[in-house]
A and B are shown apart, each in its own frame.
Chain A
Amino acid sequence: MPFVRFIGFSIVRAWQGFWRNAMMSLAATATVVLMLVLLSGLFIVITGLNSGLQFIESKVAVTARLVDDLPISARTALVEEVEEYPGVASVEYVSPAAAMDRLRASYREVGRELDLGDPDSPITLFASLEISLTDADASEDVGAALATHDDVDRVLTKQAEYDTLLGIINVIRTVGLIGIGLVGLTVLFMIINTIRIAVYSRANEIEIMRLVGASDSFIRWPFILEGILCGLAGAIVTIVLVAVIWDPIQPAMVTIFQMPTAVSAQFLTTLSVLLLGVGLGVGALGSWISVRSYLSVAH
């Protein structure tokens, strides 16, 4: 029961403190919102790009263009050989006709018709093997092995595309985290200041609390909770904002970044947990620093 009383007392005092010093508390909350909105943006972009990366990984990783007029028996032998390579998930033979059909389909997707002039045009595409991998890192070895094979004319890998996307993700992640770190420091100082002002504005009460024998936790925890309240309020506001804009964003995540629908459905929950954690963490850290430095010296 005493613990329940302590919790109740601290929460009530924190709530009163938050509104007593409303301008400062709301300013601190606003900075928390700013930081968390930036974090959400970064999280959305990084998650989207990661999904794109996984999509590329899951698609055909290596294409081997076959030499002209390769006999069926040689082609079958080649397929069987490549299937044995380490890191290879599956091998699919794409005939010149199938390649042409795909080309026509891709034209139709953007609303055009492939025009080769003469309907009986002798133009054909290459036959190829499309190899998907269990591990994207195997693409280099598989590519190298195929390049030296007599039946293979040319090897195309997705490695360059993959590396470029990975590079972009790393740059965005680094720049984003540095930016959020700087904003996070500002937020921390705002909360430290807010709680410092709260401590000073309650100096008389604190003195009386000490004189009548209030324990340190009764004096300190209301202020720590007041800081946590700023973080919590900031997180809730941000979650509401993200939830509102998520509806128009979600289809784009699925189409542009090829985010799997399962990930997309879970995304808002994951992001909310992250925002709550960071909001509460910054609030608690800022007020804890403040309470340590401004309540301990006076004791």
Chain B
Amino acid sequence: MTYPNGKVALADVNVEIPRGDFVFLVGPSGAGKSTFIRLLIREQLPTSGHVTVAGRDLLRMRRRQVPGLRRRIGIVFQDFRLLPNKTVWENVAFALDVTGVAGSIIRRRVPQLLSLVGLQDHAHHLPTQLSGGEQQRTAIARALVHDPAILIADEPTGNLDPVTSWELIQLLIQINELGTTVLMATHNQEIVNAMRRRVLALEVGHLVRDEAVAAYEREY
């Protein structure tokens, strides 16, 4: 993947993530983690190579098919990206509303999701009235509205304290156990080391490590 200014963001990256996996994506800032994620959600197209997500070739995908792809992928960010003037309920319902889901389905689906992330009692709070962990849970509930096959978490614990981070990881594990593939980009060594899951390590745009049960840094 080469940017128009000539900078090569990713090169020679061959990765296959099976359905239902829980994968960590690690590497220093500028290693290409964000580009990797942007390629998966078709925010960018590779200058060469192929990207296949949920059985679809993203290069051959028409522009009007992109929204369908995005409903198969949930995504959460370090900065939560909640709408500050909407309550927890409205933030989650918004994702259904803007995709044309009927009101009756929204009224049924939102409580299920809030219950899954443990925020049923905070439904009418604004994001500013929530802790960081609660805001990230709201973002996860929103990411799950379309029951996606894949959940991508880009530094989800970056703004959270260690205890809250662990609570969030427990939630992601729970979601993964329900059958959703989880890809989590992170700098959090403690979590990666403790989890012992598959780790993809990027450095200067290259995949330097792909190990099935691994730690944050090379162990040999």
Cβ–Cβ contact B100 & A207, under 8 A: no
Q: Residues of A contacting B102 with CB < 8 Å? A: 1, 5
Cβ–Cβ contact B71 & A213, under 8 A: yes
Most B-side CB within 10 Å, residue of A207, A210, A299: A210
Interface residues contributed by chain B, number (CB under 8 Å): 22
Closest A residue to B82 using CB positions: A208
* Cβ-based interface call for B67 (8 A): yes
Cβ–Cβ contact B41 & A9, under 8 A: no
* Cβ-based interface call for B97 (8 A): yes
* Cβ-based interface call for A161 (8 A): no
Query: How long is the Cα–Cα vector from A53 to B121 in the complex, in angstroms?
Result: 76
One of A1, A2, A212 near B98 (C-beta < 8 A): A212
Q: Residues of A contacting B81 with CB < 8 Å? A: 204, 207-208
Q: Residues of B contacting A210 with CB < 8 Å? A: 70
Q: Chain B's interface: helix, strand, loop or mixed, by majority?
A: helix
Within 8 A of B (CB), among A1-53: 1-2, 5-6, 9
Q: Residues of A contacting B83 with CB < 8 Å? A: 204-205, 208
Query: How long is the Cα–Cα vector from A207 to B95 in the complex, in angstroms?
Result: 11
Q: Residues of A contacting B41 with CB < 8 Å? A: 211
Query: How long is the Cα–Cα vector from A215 to B71 in the complex, in angstroms?
Result: 10
Q: Residues of A contacting B166 with CB < 8 Å? A: none
Q: Residues of A contacting B71 with CB < 8 Å? A: 212-213
Q: Residues of A contacting B143 with CB < 8 Å? A: 212
Q: Residues of A contacting B99 with CB < 8 Å? A: 212-215, 218
Interface residues contributed by chain A, number (CB under 8 Å): 20
* Cβ-based interface call for A241 (8 A): no
Measured CB to CB, the closest approach of chain B to A14, in angstroms, equals: 14
Cβ–Cβ contact A9 & B70, under 8 A: no
Query: How long is the Cα–Cα vector from A42 to B54 in the complex, in angstroms?
Result: 61
Per-position 1/0 for B146-180, Cβ under 8 A of A: 10000000000000000000000000000000000
* Cβ-based interface call for A209 (8 A): yes
Cβ–Cβ contact B142 & A215, under 8 A: no
Q: Residues of B contacting A216 with CB < 8 Å? A: 63-64, 67
Cβ–Cβ contact B75 & A9, under 8 A: no
A-B contact pairs, 17 of them (CB 8 A): A1-B102, A5-B100, A5-B102, A6-B100, A205-B94, A208-B81, A208-B95, A210-B70, A211-B41, A212-B95, A212-B145, A213-B67, A213-B69, A213-B99, A213-B146, A214-B67, A218-B99
Known interface pairs A9-B100, A212-B143, A213-B68; 9 further A-B residue pairs with C-beta atoms within 8 A, sorted by A's residue number: A205-B94, A210-B70, A211-B75, A212-B94, A212-B145, A213-B99, A214-B67, A214-B98, A215-B99
Question: Which residues of chain B have a CB within 8 Å of any CB of chain A?
Answer: 41, 63-64, 67-71, 75, 81, 83, 94-95, 97-100, 102, 142-143, 145-146
